[in-house]
Amino acid sequence: MPASEVSAAAMAARLSTLGLPARVEEDRRHTSVEAELPDGLSAELWRKVLDVVAEADRFGLLATSLNGRTLWAVVRKTVPTTGDVGGPSHQR
pLDDT of residue 91: 44
d(CA 30, CA 11): 14
| pLDDT band for position 86 (cuts 50, 70, 90) | low
d(CA 20, CA 5): 19
pLDDT of residue 68: 87
pLDDT in tens, 48-81: 999 999 999 999 999 988 878 999 999 998 765 6
pLDDT in tens, 20-56: 999 999 988 999 999 999 988 999 999 999 999 999 9
